[in-house]
């Protein structure tokens, strides 16, 4: 049977909801997965950049997963959607394909930018087995030294639960990206189409000098340019995936999401 019942899921969670195959302080195996938007994620590559990685193990009919996924996405959004030192990845248990995970995110993901989600089609099952997860959801944290920092972040009362898992001395800046405006409510811009082949138009709400920077989900800068016009047309030569368009000007700054297919 593809899914365990919600009751069994809850009982199993109480009994053993955590990473089973690694203890805190142990080096975890590297993995490479492809999310539902076709973007590849390599664990050790993130660590090589000094980033901490939070993993969310889930499946689509798990009630507690449905309830806590919005919190995980809010956490991802609050700390920069992968552009800073916080990386979040949702890993399916291997029972759901891309479309099922897309439907799950659309239904339960909440109003924030969603953390990259990986289905069985993107290699999630092998990661789930490697970590020894047998109850859902399981949230864990891995540090830049490739070692498990926290094997069970639970219960979740809000984003502050994930923030409580920050190691001593780790103080990532808040880099909220869902609402666009980061330091001035008077500055905003439109980017369209939000799903394209890389040809996009950026329209500012007023004519002002601006710096446009585009990041991939790994936080790497893939484009940067200075402009004086209100409308800017870009032909991005980038791989398929999700990108963050960040614009800084003398009157404020904002960040928005686009998808290149």
- For the segment 228-236, the average pLDDT, to the nearest whole number, is 93
* Domain final residue, candidates 163, 197, 227: 163
**Residue 145 placed within a domain:** yes
As a whole number of angstroms, the distance between CA 201 and CA 134 comes to: 46
Say if residue 207 is in the same domain as residue 152. Answer: no
pLDDT of 137 strictly over 50: yes
Non-local (6+) Cβ contacts of 37 within 8 A are 116, 240, 241, 242, 259
* Domain final residue, candidates 163, 197, 220: 163
Q: Give me the pLDDT at residue 240, please.
A: 87
* Domain final residue, candidates 129, 163, 197: 163
Say if residue 117 is in the same domain as residue 215. Answer: no
Say if residue 207 is in the same domain as residue 151. Answer: no
State the CATH number of the domain containing residue 95.
3.40.30.10
Q: How many domains does the chain have?
A: 2
Q: Give me the pLDDT at residue 75, please.
A: 95
As a whole number of angstroms, the distance between CA 22 and CA 88 comes to: 19
Say if residue 111 is in the same domain as residue 65. Answer: yes
pTM above 0.75, yes or no: no
- Residue 107 token pair: 């239904």
- For the segment 176-185, the average pLDDT, to the nearest whole number, is 46
**Residue 175 placed within a domain:** no
Report the 10 Å Cβ neighbour count for 161.
16
Asked whether the beta carbons of 110 and 68 are under 8 A apart, the reply is no
- For the segment 244-261, the average pLDDT, to the nearest whole number, is 83
Report the 10 Å Cβ neighbour count for 143.
18
Say if residue 159 is in the same domain as residue 193. Answer: no
Pairwise pLDDT comparison (214 vs 93), residue with the higher score: 93
**Residue 182 placed within a domain:** no
Containing domain of residue 65, as a range? Answer: 6-163
Give helix 6-16 / helix 63-78 axis angle, nearest 10°: 60
Average pLDDT, the chain: 87
pLDDT of 88 strictly over 80: yes
Report the 10 Å Cβ neighbour count for 215.
22
Q: Give me the pLDDT at residue 217, please.
A: 66
State the CATH number of the domain containing residue 197.
2.60.40.1220
Burial track 40-66 (b if 16+ CB lie within 10 A, e otherwise): bbebbebbeeebbbbbbbbbbbbebbb
């Amino acid at each position: 049977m593809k899914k365990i019942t919600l009751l069994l899921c809850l009982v199993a969670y109480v009994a053993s909801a955590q990473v089973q195959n690694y203890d805190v302080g142990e080096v975890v195996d590297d993995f490479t997965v492809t999310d539902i938007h076709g973007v590849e994620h390599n664990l050790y590559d993130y660590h090589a950049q000094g980033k901490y990685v939070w993993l969310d193990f889930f499946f689509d009919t798990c009630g507690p997963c449905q309830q806590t996924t919005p919190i995980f996405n809010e956490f991802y959004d609050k700390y920069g959607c992968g552009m800073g030192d916080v990386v979040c990845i949702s890993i399916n248990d291997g029972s759901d394909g891309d479309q099922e995970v897309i439907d799950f995110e659309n239904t339960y993901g909440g109003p924030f930018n969603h953390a990259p989600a990986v289905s069985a089609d993107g290699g999630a099952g092998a990661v789930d087995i490697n970590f020894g997860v047998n109850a859902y959801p399981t949230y864990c944290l891995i540090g830049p030294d490739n070692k498990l920092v926290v094997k069970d972040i639970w219960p979740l009362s809000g984003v502050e639960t994930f923030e409580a898992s920050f190691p001593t001395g780790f103080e990532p800046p808040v880099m909220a990206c869902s609402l666009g405006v980061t330091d001035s409510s008077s500055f905003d811009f439109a980017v369209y189409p939000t799903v394209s082949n890389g040809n996009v138009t950026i329209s500012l709400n007023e004519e002002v000098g601006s710096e446009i920077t585009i990041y991939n989900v790994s936080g790497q800068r893939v484009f940067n340019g200075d402009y004086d016009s209100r409308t800017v047309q870009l032909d991005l030569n980038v791989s398929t995936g999700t990108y963050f368009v960040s614009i800084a000007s003398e009157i404020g700054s904002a960040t928005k999401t686009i998808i290149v297919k």
